[in-house]
Amino acid sequence: GESVGLHLPTLSVQEGDNSIINCAYSNSASDYFIWYKQESGKGPQFIIDIRSNMDKRQGQRVTVLLNKTVKHLSLQIAATQPGDSAVYFCAEKGAGSGNTGKLIFGQGTTLQVKP
């Protein structure tokens, strides 16, 4: 079946450094991917999305890279700040979901920012 996985459950970085959070997906037919940030006690918050016809998309301090050849997605956060500490999820629109909008979430990577 479909799965979305992250390489590391926890990532610890120094404040000011760049962070890279990785995600692997299994379904080559997936055409839409999203990154979410979840802070403690809150719901997931949309960060950035990318469609399969792109390989890179940039936002404010964040960049998402999509490598369809190896089915790999990454989120890069520039100049990581303490407020970036959270759990980060990648999600894909699953194959066969067609018009159902079903998102399949990965397990989550906890980003810890050290001052």
Partner 1 sequence: DTAVSQTPKYLVTQMGNDKSIKCEQNLGHDTMYWYKQDSKKFLKIMFSYNNKELIINETVPNRFSPKSPDKAHLNLHINSLELGDSAVYFCASSQGWIGAPLHFGNGTRLTVT
H-run or E-run covering 28: none
Residues in 42-71 at the binding interface with partner 1, rule: CB under 8 A: 42-46, 49, 51
Number of shown-chain residues binding partner 1 (CB under 8 A): 25
Residue pair 34/46 in contact by the 8 Å Cβ criterion: yes
Among the residue ranges 19-27, 53-61, 65-73, 89-97, the one whose residues contact partner 1 (CB under 8 A): 89-97
Residue pair 48/57 in contact by the 8 Å Cβ criterion: yes
Residue pair 42/54 in contact by the 8 Å Cβ criterion: no
Residues in 19-38 at the binding interface with partner 1, rule: CB under 8 A: 31-32, 34, 36, 38
d(CA 110, CA 103): 20
Question: Residue 62 Cβ, how far from partner 1 at the closest point, in Å?
Answer: 14
Q: Residue 31 or residue 55: which is nearer to partner 1 going by CB? A: 31
DSSP percent split of the chain into helix, strand, coil, nearest 5: 5, 55, 40
Q: Which of 53, 60, 69, 100 binds partner 1 (CB under 8 A)?
A: 100
* Binding residues vs partner 1 (CB under 8 A): 31-32, 34, 36, 38, 41-46, 49, 51, 87, 89, 91, 93, 99-103, 105, 107-108
